[in-house]
Structure 1
């Protein structure tokens, strides 16, 4: 993906997706039926941890032109709250270490939710404070992850900006790609014992 995908010509409420260096517009269909992916077209798929998937098919797919994006003001930095305190984090780490030592788990991802109220939009055409695409462009500039993405489907409650260094799944016909980092190395000589252990763990899971 280009490190600075373009969003400028798209209105803040218009559906779009930026995936794999492609700018997708002209929304054709949205469904939660995964079997629809067998039909022709370019699909962006959102798989929530809980709930139904969202599959969006776009009619126009073209290269995302380099462009810095509208400024992203975002929430007041002082308004952020965390679902996990420092004490809770330390306690969680200790619990995980004990579970690993007991042989009950391979690995646990200790996560938290960060929340903040969005600023009130000022109704101006250049106001991007509520625009997930502007946030995606800002993330791509500051953190040019190879699989960063944006999916904006306002009518369906989907607003996603991702700065992932890993490809979860990509499908073209009967071929499916996944590009994880864990348990991999650029060359066989660079494959450490830790990498081998992680690879075995992932395959075992």
Structure 2
């Protein structure tokens, strides 16, 4: 069953903070008009159902290469755009790939879209405080030894020729009491969080916050592009030199760039795909990461459903070949990816901008959940991969614990 809600029948979704990738001019003016949600257990094609919902609400998602008139069929001319979240599981459904284990936060829909209109600045709602916020001890879904064993099993699969690269992701959760809003906003405000933002439902049953630096897909000014990130080192001068000199990291990165080139090339209505930038080093919190830019012109009609099927789940968090990598992920990861490793961002009248939901956390009323991992190649060292995942999770945990009035 697909759930679509209108503000005339349901309470509006309160903005917990700026939605991910929302235009700066719209900040603090969001009021939810309608909501769409789809769960893995629901029937139907989520890509087509989502496209139909957004198109019916005045967004030009059947032809993303053109700008749309900002007027709405029902007379709401103040619509500013829509927030969109698509889980990795939903991406698997869209391409008929193997889905992973069940999500540890099943209350969160696998597809969630909010159509926003402008309200008075600062409305609706009032500032929320973090009175009594307390975070309990973290519990990982696997031990470091089990994580390292999963890495070794992937290396064996690579040695057999089953795959070339697989991204392995771990999960951890911690109990909490109190209002998590300020903690989520701290996550969204981490340095380098290009897609920093917070999204949640009207009933307060769940919320997610992202500090993602990675562009899964962007459509703007007649071009479609992706910015895969692969390769990590500490953000020191020595770390930067080591990242640039690492043959292993560069080979892993180039493999994903080739995968993303293939993903964009499969899109109908696109021209020649090119690599605009290769292995540029950027900073996220205390880490250096390598990023490339891959793009193509939109020469014909490209709809949202086709775009999501081409890029989801993201190549940099799956592996190559993508379908074989997803088989390995389903076999190795004991806990589902939940809100992580999916798509999260904004659909406007003249552009689409979706980040990859890495560096993303979720709350479900009793626990906070976080995920981290990395790409595995034949040359990967299992202990180093465990350490890299911990380094990526570290800033998220620190942001969540900062306001803990009881300590951890």
Distance 2:227 2:121 in 1: 21
What SS class does the counterpart of residue 155 from structure 1 fall into?
Answer: coil
Q: Rate the CA distance shift 1:34–1:138 in 2: closer, same or farther, 3 A.
A: same
Change (3 A) 1:143 1:74: farther
Deviation at 1:152, TM superposition (A): 2.2
Distance 1:63 1:174 in 2: 32
Counterpart among 24, 27, 30 of residue 25 in structure 1: 30
Aligned equivalents of 2:204, 2:131: Cα separation in 1: 23
Aligned residues: CA RMSD: 3.6
**Matching residue within 52, 56, 61 for 2:114:** 56
- TM-score, normalised via structure 2 length: 0.36
Which residue number in structure 2 is paired with residue 160 of structure 1? 208
Task: Give the match's secondary structure for 1:118.
Answer: strand
Q: Is 1:130 paired with 2:147?
A: no
Residues 156 and 148 of structure 1: CA distance in aligned 2, closer, same or farther (over 3 Å): same
1:149 to 187, 193, 197: 197
Q: Is the 8 A contact 2:86 2:112 kept in 1?
A: yes
C-alpha distance after superposition, 1:50-71 (max 9, x if no partner):
364111111128999xxxx966
Q: Does 1:46 align with 2:85?
A: yes
**Superposition pairs for residues 1-205 of structure 1, below 5 Å?**
14-15=14-15, 17-20=18-21, 22=24, 23=27, 25-32=30-37, 33-35=49-51, 36-38=53-55, 39-40=58-59, 41-50=80-89, 52-60=110-118, 75-77=134-136, 79-119=137-177, 121=178, 129-131=179-181, 134-155=182-203, 157-171=205-219, 176-182=224-230, 194=251, 195-204=253-262, 205=322
- 1:46, CA displacement in angstroms? 1.2
Q: Does the CA contact (< 8 Å) of 1:71 and 1:138 recur in 2?
A: no
Q: CA deviation at 1:198?
A: 2.9
Q: Distance in 2 between the 1:75 and 1:111 partners?
A: 26
1:67-107 Cα distance to aligned partner (Å, 9 max, x none): xx966975435x21010112211211110111112111122
What are the ranges of 5 or more consecutive residues in structure 2 without an aligned counterpart?
1-12, 38-48, 60-79, 91-109, 123-127, 232-243, 263-321, 323-408
Measured after TM superposition, the shift of residue 130 of structure 1 is 2.5
Instruction: Please give the TM-score of this superposition, normalised by the length of structure 1.
Output: 0.66
Distance 2:223 2:89 in 1: 26
Q: Looking at both structures, which has the greater relative contact order when contacts are Cα pairs under 8 Å and sequence separation is at least 6?
A: 2
Q: Which residue of 1 aligns with 2:8?
A: none
